[in-house]
Chain A
Amino acid sequence: MPESSSLDVVMFSPSAEALGVDRDLVVADLGYRNGEAPDMVWELVDDLLPQLPAHVEIRCGFRILPSGSIDVGDDSFTANGMQFSTGPIIASQLKRSTSLALFVSTVGLQMERWSAQLMAEGDMMKGFLVDALASEVVERASVWLEQRVVDHIAPRGWKITNRYSPGYCDWAVSEQQKLFSLLPHQFCGITLTASSLMVPIKSLSGIIGLGPDVKRGAFQCSICDLKDCYRRRDDPGPAKEKA
């Protein structure tokens, strides 16, 4: 059940267990393929995973904009009178949207404190793996949240597009400021720095197009030809972004 719900703003605090954090994905994201990580890495990940519930403060939520409140152009969209310059790639994916879900998810501050503490104590390996786990948790939280959006809009006969975040496909990170201006103050406990960095760092934000005629696309990087993109993944799996 949502923690709060009013005017199409919904917030959740799912448990780490509910998200189904996948150890294989954590290790694969470190670069190892086909499970060929050293035993030490598997053992440490298996040791750290059960400790997650004591360190995560997962919060996620979304705001659904009123139907018809967005206008999508060739390389931007306008919502609540505010223009977002997403670039043509994202704009084309949003084309048939009649509304948007603005979303955020975070693992909270405890995870980065835990990671920093381990590193300060000289255990770089565990500190790094905690950081990697935090990235996976926030990604899982965003996937989990997508399903909540689907459930929320199903009675309206709407579907969803993929998720898009500032920083994807030529959409400037600085537009986080506009995105957050459309969300409740410190939504899910997340604040923005002047440089548009989310605090806690292990947080994700973005938009999802909604409407009766939209659809989820293929693997996100396949729609983008951005050169030198540091987010591009080599494998053809589902798109995952680093927090």
Chain B
Amino acid sequence: MNELLESLTRCVERGKVNSKSPYPPDLKGQDGADEFARKAIDAGIPPQEILSNGLIIGMQRVGERFRNKEIFVPDVLMAAKAMAAAMGHLKPFFQSDILKHKGTIVIGTVLGDLHDIGKKLVSMVIEGAGWEVVDLGTDVSPEKFLKAVDEHPGCVVGLSALLTTTMVNMESTVKHVKAKHPNVKVIIGGAPVTEEFALKIGADGYSSDPQGAVEFLNSRCTPN
């Protein structure tokens, strides 16, 4: 692999944002994801290669290590920050259609539930895997989900809930969306949710961790 891309991968994995960032201490004063992304573009490496063979690999390792409890939420947040710094350089390529997302996921915490952080974390890891995320926020009604699906043809839907009393609202959301868009895939997650529950309510997937959601998207969902 190209040395610049390897450095980019390592910076995302370690959460090294830029040269000014003091974290992690052993990389203090060294270039971060920000600088390496710029250098990679300047070196003529195709943007798709920078994304796929640099950034996404880094974030994938982060997702796997988080799943294995080798690292924890703060580490994922730093990795996402490094990823975002690098993505800033790729933004123009997305705008000019040189780069394309793998697909779009419309994500939100279901009606009656105000918990936000878990969903945000999942969104960051999914974004880091090359997907566009449309975050509808919390306490999202089935109607609002449906409207977002109408506006993003071919998207996947991600539902989050943290309470047993609100996870029941996942079912009405799944039904509401699938009644109009039967082919739209729905993945659900959240502390009280199980695979059995996902099957019962007609969701297409369930994941207990962000990387599982990425794997579902990459393997089961047709890109736009």
Binding site for B on A (CB under 8 A): 30-32, 37-41, 116, 119, 124-125, 127-129, 131, 167, 172-174, 193-197, 199, 201, 228, 230
Contact = CB atoms under 8 A, between A and B. Distances in A.
Given A30-B73, A40-B22, A196-B163, 8 more contacts: A31-B72, A37-B72, A38-B74, A39-B25, A124-B120, A172-B164, A195-B112, A230-B191
Report which residue of B73, B124, B165 has the largest number of chain A beta carbons within 10 angstroms of its beta carbon.
B165
B81 interface: yes
A193 B163 CA distance: 12
Interface in B139-195: 163-166, 169, 191-192, 194
A172 B166 CA distance: 12
B74 A167 contact: no
A107 B71 CA distance: 28
Contacts of A228: 194
Contacts of A194: 112
Contacts of A167: 163-164
11 contacts: A30-B72, A32-B72, A38-B78, A124-B80, A125-B78, A128-B74, A131-B117, A172-B165, A196-B163, A197-B114, A197-B165
B69 interface: yes
Contacts of B191: 230
Contacts of B73: 30-31, 128
A37 B72 CA distance: 9
A230 B197 CA distance: 14
Given A40-B23, A172-B164, A193 B74 contact: no
A30 to B, nearest CB: 5
Interface of B: 22-25, 69, 72-75, 77-78, 80-81, 112-117, 120, 124, 163-166, 169, 191-192, 194
A199 B139 CA distance: 13
A103 B74 CA distance: 32
B74 A197 contact: no
A181 B124 CA distance: 40
A172 B191 CA distance: 15
Contacts of B194: 228
Contact of B163 (A37, A41, A127, A173): A173
Given A124-B120, A195-B165, A201 B75 contact: no
Given A125-B78, A172-B164, A197 B69 contact: no
A214 to B, nearest CB: 28
Nearest to B192: A230
Contacts of B81: 124-125
B138 to A, nearest CB: 10
A124 B121 CA distance: 9
Given A131-B117, A195-B112, A173 B77 contact: no
A228 B195 CA distance: 10
Report which residue of B23, B69, B72, B120 has the largest number of chain A beta carbons within 10 angstroms of its beta carbon.
B72
B192 A195 contact: no
Contacts of B80: 124
Contacts of A129: 74
B163 A197 contact: yes
A228 B197 CA distance: 12
B117 A193 contact: no
Report which residue of B78, B124, B169 has the largest number of chain A beta carbons within 10 angstroms of its beta carbon.
B78
Nearest to B191: A230
Contacts of B120: 119, 124
Contacts of A172: 164-165
B113 A197 contact: yes
A224 B149 CA distance: 41
A161 B60 CA distance: 46
Contacts of B169: 195
Counting from the closest, the 4 A-B pairs by CB-CB distance are: A195-B112, A31-B72, A230-B191, A195-B165
Nearest to B110: A195
